[in-house]
Amino acid sequence: MLEYRDKIVQEVAACACDRCGRRLTPGDDDWHEKLSVEYRGGYFSVFGDGATVSIDLCQQCVRDALGPWLRICPGV
Ligand SMILES: [Zn+2]
């Protein structure tokens, strides 16, 4: 029989766009449209060996900064 104990966890409460500074919260209509990327580069990363790269963008900044290169397929 498994026994359980209470555990305190953290959840994201807000996100500030790194490009425009707009602050999003889970109650905002476009909360789920933001883009958050974080990864660790390898030995030949242009950012430095083993560097961690991260960014959070609102959907307007994703479109404005990456628009020409995004592959967008219409939803069903
Ligand atoms: Zn933005």
Tell me the CA–centroid distance for residue 20 and ligand 1, in Å.
4
**pLDDT tens digits for 61-73?**
999 999 999 999 9
Tell me the CA–centroid distance for residue 75 and ligand 1, in Å.
23
- Report pLDDT for 76: 81
Evaluate if residue 34 carries a pLDDT over 90.
Answer: yes
Cα distances (angstroms) measured from residue 47 to each of 17, 43, 51, 54: 21, 10, 6, 11
Q: Do 47 and 41 contact (CB within 8 A), yes or no?
A: yes
The domains of the chain are located at 15-69
Q: In angstroms, what is the C-alpha Rg of the chain?
A: 17
Evaluate if residue 51 carries a pLDDT over 90.
Answer: yes
| Span 19-38, average pLDDT | 97
- Report pLDDT for 73: 93
Evaluate if residue 75 carries a pLDDT over 90.
Answer: no
